[in-house]
Structure 1
Amino acid sequence: MLIARLIADADALDTRLDRASVMLAAEGMPIAMASMLDFCSDVLQIALADGDAATMRSVIDEAFGPCDMLIADHDIEVPRLLVSDMDSTIIGQECIDELADYAGLKPQIAAITERAMAGALDFGAALRERVALLEGLDEEAIARCLDERIRPVEGARTLVQTLKAKGCRTVLVTGGFHHFADPVAEQVGFDRVVANRLAVSAGRLSGGLVGPISDAQTKRAALDEERAMLGEGARVLAAGDGANDVPMIEGADYGFACHAKPILRAAANGRIESASLTAILSLLGIPRSEWVMG
């Protein structure tokens, strides 16, 4: 079984579906059923008796263009665990880049961040390099940055609160910092936070970190640990945007690349291209009447 759900432009939807059907048939993957979901009328579900997920993803890209989508090899259900990245996923910013602006170093640090998220640099080394550049910055700049710059993306709180209402445990895992992640988690409603900790001395950043680095393997380990506590058969959803999210995304049943770098898009079986994370709720088949609005 192969199930694909997508939220596509309603304009010429039938024509696009016909094109997808022809393309899939040519790959030996005929469509068994295609219809709009009963309680999420903007979601098209395509079911195949069998097939290859990568081929399905490629066909959707060509036939429908960029769209929110999810592909699974089973009947899609509400997950019991959400593990999400923070920067450029739950919030619209990269915290270290915004903090660097208060030190007059944003272009320099943002360039390193961009390369690390694309997978061109080792994450741990890039993180230490960026943190070292912030040495001497007044700790008060963190509070100012949070207040002035850091904002959840559209639909983040609704996504988390709705899944929690459905019995889902929620974990925020980030290569960023507890100084930012803890307040964001409280605002959005996450149950647990995994993050790095900035070293502070005499009210100023010392240019280092306290404890081990929270990186790609830390994120995957958190997902595996939480899944094990839920028991066999628990579906897991993960969301992220960069290279250090790849292991976590690969470990999830529903791995969403949110406005993501190409390296993560290639690893994910779900994508969010629209502005709001509530698209994930629609793709899971949760009707709007059951959303907990944030």
Structure 2
Amino acid sequence: MLIARLIAETSTLATNLDRARAELAAKGWPVAMAETVRSGMDAIELELPHGDPAGVREVLDRHFAPSDLLLSDHEPVIPRVFVSDMDSTMISAECIDELADFAGIKDQIAEITERAMQGELDFESALRERVRLLAALDESAIGECLATRIAPMPGAKTLVATLKAKGCRTVLVTGGFHQFADPVAEQLGFERVVANTLEVTGGKLTGGLIGPITDSAVKKAVLLEEMAKLGGNATSLATGDGANDIPMLEAATYGLAYRAKPKARAAADGWIDRGDLTAILELLGIPRSEWVRG
């Protein structure tokens, strides 16, 4: 069985739904049921007795884009643990790119960041290269960057607060830096932070990092560790946007790609392309009356 929950343009929903159902049936994946999500919100739910998940996602994407989608092999439930990427997922910027602007090299570093997020470069090598370019930058640039360049994604506070109110553990795991992730986590309400640490000596960045690198393998390991603490049947939610989030997205019960790069989007169980982060609450079936506004 496959359950697809979908939020799309309402004015064309009925027409597009008819076309999608016809195409799915032609592929041998008939839709047994289509109704509004039981919580009574904007999402519709399609039930297919069987089907290829990647193929079903492709059909729904073609007929409803831009959309918000979650595809699962069971009726979605509230996860026990939520693990999220930070840059361009929980916040609306890439911290290292904005920090590089203070050093006058934003374009140079942003190009490397984009290629790394697309999966074109080895993450650790690309990270160390970008950090080296920041050598001798004054540490005060971090505080100024946080104050003037870093803002939560729309819906981030409500998403985290609502999941916590439902008993979900929340973890922020990022290939970025503790100097940014710790205050962001405090602002948004995350209970644990896993990140890299910029080395600072004499009030200036050295161009190095302290300790092991938080990369895609670490992100997945953190998710699995948190799930193991809750027992073998624990459900999990992961969100991210880049290639280094793929193992984490694939390991989660519900892996959702937020405004993501193509490789991450293709690897996920669904995506948020249309709404803000509160669309995740709608896809999980949590009524708006139970949302905790951040």
Tell me the TM-score range normalised by the shorter chain.
over 0.9
What is the aligned partner in structure 2 of residue 115 from structure 1?
Answer: 115
- Distance in 1 (alpha carbons) for counterparts of 2:40 and 2:270: 17
- Distance in 2 (alpha carbons) for counterparts of 1:17 and 1:281: 22
The one-letter code of the counterpart of 1:142 is I
**1:90-239 alignment to 2 at 5 Å?**
90-239=90-239
What is the aligned partner in structure 2 of residue 27 from structure 1?
Answer: 27
The one-letter code of the counterpart of 2:65 is G
Tell whether the 8 Å contact from 1:80 to 1:167 is kept in structure 2 after alignment. yes
Aligned-pair CA distance for 1:38: 3.0
What is the aligned partner in structure 1 of residue 87 from structure 2?
Answer: 87
Q: Does 1:40 align with 2:40?
A: yes
TM-score, normalised by the number of residues in structure 1: 0.99
The one-letter code of the counterpart of 2:64 is F
SS in 2 for 1:127: helix
SS in 2 for 1:159: helix
The one-letter code of the counterpart of 2:20 is A
SS in 1 for 2:11: coil
Tell whether the 8 Å contact from 2:8 to 2:274 is kept in structure 1 after alignment. no
RMSD: 0.7
**1:244-263 alignment to 2 at 5 Å?**
244-263=244-263
Deviates most, 31-40 or 211-220: 31-40
**1:273-288 alignment to 2 at 5 Å?**
273-288=273-288
Aligned-pair CA distance for 1:170: 0.4
SS in 2 for 1:28: coil
Q: Percent of counterpart pairs with the same letter? A: 63
- Distance in 1 (alpha carbons) for counterparts of 2:40 and 2:71: 16
The one-letter code of the counterpart of 1:120 is E
What is the aligned partner in structure 1 of residue 52 from structure 2?
Answer: 52
SS in 2 for 1:11: helix
The one-letter code of the counterpart of 1:129 is E
Aligned-pair CA distance for 1:66: 1.9
Tell whether the 8 Å contact from 2:255 to 2:268 is kept in structure 1 after alignment. yes
Tell whether the 8 Å contact from 2:66 to 2:274 is kept in structure 1 after alignment. no
Aligned-pair CA distance for 1:275: 4.3
Aligned-pair CA distance for 1:15: 1.1
Tell whether the 8 Å contact from 2:68 to 2:275 is kept in structure 1 after alignment. no
Tell whether the 8 Å contact from 2:98 to 2:106 is kept in structure 1 after alignment. yes
SS in 2 for 1:255: strand
The one-letter code of the counterpart of 2:173 is V
- Distance in 1 (alpha carbons) for counterparts of 2:258 and 2:169: 20
Tell whether the 8 Å contact from 2:6 to 2:67 is kept in structure 1 after alignment. yes
Aligned length: 294
- Distance in 1 (alpha carbons) for counterparts of 2:213 and 2:233: 30
TM-score, normalised by the number of residues in structure 2: 0.99
SS in 2 for 1:31: coil
Tell whether the 8 Å contact from 1:67 to 1:274 is kept in structure 2 after alignment. yes
Aligned-pair CA distance for 1:51: 1.2
The one-letter code of the counterpart of 1:217 is A
Aligned-pair CA distance for 1:52: 1.1
What is the aligned partner in structure 1 of residue 11 from structure 2?
Answer: 11
Which whole-Å deviations, capped at 9, do the CAs of 1:21-60 have from their partners, x for residues lacking one? Answer: 1101111111110001132331010001111111110110
**1:58-77 alignment to 2 at 5 Å?**
58-77=58-77
What is the aligned partner in structure 1 of residue 269 from structure 2?
Answer: 269
